[in-house]
Amino acid sequence: MSQRRDWSDPEAWADMLSYEPADFAVEYLVRNEEFVAECRALLERVKARHGELIGTTKFVARWGARFHHRR
């Protein structure tokens, strides 16, 4: 996970001026402790499921994210 920025410093987020909506969504998710915790738990449950979509229906509905398991 990336280091948190100092949001009170305009120069810390100046590079985000060119972000697309999906980029902002990622920034939100990686700062959300609940999302990060669920991702870690999900990873532990699916380590052996190569090539399948990962994420329960509840996870997808809550976060709007689904991942492919790749090695």
Helix (H, G, I), strand (E, B) or coil at 53: strand
Using alpha carbons only, what angle is made at residue 39 by residues 46 and 49, rounded to the nearest 5 degrees? Answer: 15
Q: Based on the structure, what is the number of domains in the chain?
A: 1
Measured distance CA(57)–CA(48) in Å, rounded: 19
Residue 2 lies in a domain: no
Residue 64 lies in a domain: yes
Number of continuous H segments (helices) and E segments (strands) in the chain: 3, 2
Q: What is the pLDDT of residue 68?
A: 58
Residue 31 lies in a domain: yes
What are the pLDDT digits (tens) for 10-22? 888 788 888 888 8
Residue 47 lies in a domain: yes
What are the pLDDT digits (tens) for 10-66? 888 788 888 888 888 888 888 889 989 988 887 777 766 655 556 677 877 888 776
Residue 53 lies in a domain: yes
User: What is the residue range of 49's domain?
Assistant: 10-68
Q: What is the pLDDT of residue 33?
A: 92
Residue 3 lies in a domain: no
